[in-house]
A and B are shown apart, each in its own frame.
Chain A
């Protein structure tokens, strides 16, 4: 995992509600057994004019100039501004990996789907929920041709934008603690090993049928 403390970056806006993980990373890229290499195929089906060909994966494809991530004004953007229920659908963590590997460090939306939000913390991608009115105003500013840069301070849970706006946000305290201190979930849980073993022994005494060898 990558820690997250502070980040300043350009916002790129994707004006659709219910962006699902199939759209973020289509299924043909889930055949990989690796954790890396997903960045070029982020939003693949709406990012390129030419469809992906499995037979020629390295083939150069024309970027769709209408798609925000391809536009010069958003070059180097690292904060994705999105609409409600971002990341709905499949549990594929590949969606988070694709965003991260493209260079997105934070997604700001009025709401997120549960599994996506949970997955994003594991790669140090910060999902920030902001009121719809604030998100609307940023969409409006960007649509009118003004780029917006935001500075995110996770420790203080504060966000300032290049328009002079200042906002607070809230992140699950445990997740915030992990991101700030670069703590890995498994490492933390293993600190409770004794408690887990104790629970497991009681659980087995109560529900012995759950502990039979799989009779395959």
Chain B
């Protein structure tokens, strides 16, 4: 019988299917970080349980670390001012030490955002089941793996049993067909998808991205796209394995080698949806008409293209929709009908598990090269996704391009995407951000977030307002 990619991944990891619909799914890789793991380790302790399979786990601090290079240069956690944050970081180290969990610590050059580090190290491989106590775990589905975000109780469950207690989701495929215009990135595809199906459009589904525009994306681009599956309601985003996947994985520190590589290839080459496989939902988007996107409201589905204006309320809107629309506009300090390109920004953030890979750094650098940050932009932070991205960018001279343009070159971490650390928006400040959520208060209480691609964020840093990077004046 023809199977979808999700069916194949599910079947190859199904330990037990029960009559009531619940199932035990075997977990190959478990990624941990400092924020959602302490209570899980505490739970193991209280029940005197040990991790089932140590080698499945890798931990790295990322959410609550400082990205200030001066603070990071200080030994251990002495650069962390906030005692609560320091305790959280120390607790990850202690737990890893006590339970024997492999840890990439803050001083390690490979430290970074967990969803950047995993693929870089080959800890993420095609055909795996991967979980992490973070909703953006969907990122890893770019490799033809089944990757779930989980809660802390599930972190404890996976540690104790190596299984996830779950039930099968529906199959949802989005085919994005055709060639995108110059300047249109994976981020724009993601935002276009969310704009089309809504933030709850794929709730209860495993979302496979397919079509020529997806195949044309680099692995970095596919990670950006899968990363935002959760913003369309799907816990899981996926792309089938192809040559690009294999090329990215080959030679990674934790990738198989020799005979095992050949055996792995034989399996990985089956990781696609069979022709004729059944999808509960199957839709198509025309890639050729997608333009660079900007969110205008407080949900990722509130999104338009750079050429558009802030929408006016649909005449058929319900009372609840009207309230939501008005609340979003009030929070964002915008009026319906205002052209997106007239919106000035106070801050720029280039980073996060969505857009902090080397390709993102290059795209942003290309835009700011030889230009200067606009005077009205108070700060523009560039936060590489990992120590390895940082090193690579520095080898390519990107850090100097950013610094010369007046942008800040930071150390790796989640930073202003969720603003747990000191990188945050002040109330009322407006930010062009390459992150994934524009919720009220997400980047700091009262902060106003517009989600964009790295090139668009860089262009906003230069122009001081949103602009299509292709329309920035030529560098003299």
Chain A residues with a Cβ under 8 A of chain B: 15-18, 20, 22-23, 26-28, 30-35, 45-46, 51-52, 54, 83-85, 88-94, 96, 111, 113-115, 118-119, 122-123, 172-174, 177, 185-186, 188-190, 192, 195-196, 199-200, 203, 206-216
Contacts and interface: CB of A to CB of B under 8 A. Distances in A.
Contacts of B123: 214
A85 B47 contact: no
Interface in B373-430: 418-420, 427
Nearest to A188: B165
Contacts of A196: 15, 24, 26, 52, 161-163
A185 B149 contact: no
B20 interface: yes
B21 A90 contact: no
User: Closest 8 CB pairs between A and B?
Assistant: A209-B256, A33-B38, A119-B151, A122-B153, A174-B22, A93-B151, A85-B200, A214-B102
Nearest to A136: B320
Contact of A18 (B18, B128, B167, B299): B299
Interface in B228-278: 230, 233-235, 253-256, 260-261, 263-264, 267
- Chain B interface, DSSP helix/strand/loop, else mixed: loop
A113 B229 CA distance: 13
Given A113-B233, A209-B263, A16 B323 contact: yes
A186 B70 CA distance: 43
B190 to A, nearest CB: 15
Given A174-B20, A186-B49, A190-B161, A118 B154 contact: yes
24 contacts: A16-B327, A18-B199, A22-B440, A26-B445, A27-B420, A31-B82, A33-B91, A35-B39, A54-B82, A89-B437, A91-B149, A92-B36, A92-B151, A118-B150, A122-B154, A189-B24, A195-B15, A196-B15, A196-B163, A211-B53, A212-B256, A214-B55, A214-B102, A214-B254
B204 interface: yes
Interface string B51-64: 01101011000011
A93 B36 contact: yes
A166 B150 CA distance: 34
Contacts of B53: 200, 211
A188 B24 CA distance: 11
B247 to A, nearest CB: 17
A208 B256 CA distance: 9
B439 interface: yes
B65 to A, nearest CB: 12
A212 to B, nearest CB: 7
A15 B135 contact: no
Contacts of B233: 85, 88, 113-114
A105 B198 CA distance: 29
B39 A34 contact: yes
A89 B135 contact: yes
Interface string B195-235: 00001100110000000000000000000000000100111
Given A93-B151, A186-B49, A196-B52, 7 more contacts: A22-B440, A26-B441, A33-B38, A89-B135, A172-B167, A192-B15, A208-B260
B324 interface: yes
Contacts of A186: 47, 49, 156-157, 160-161
Contact of A115 (B38, B149, B440): B149
Contacts of A214: 55, 57-58, 102, 123, 254
A31 B64 contact: yes
A186 B48 CA distance: 12
Contact of B135 (A46, A115, A174): A115
Contacts of B441: 22-23, 26, 45
Nearest to A204: B53
A91 B134 contact: yes
A30 B356 CA distance: 23
A70 B24 CA distance: 42
Contacts of B320: 15, 17, 83
B125 interface: yes
B120 interface: no
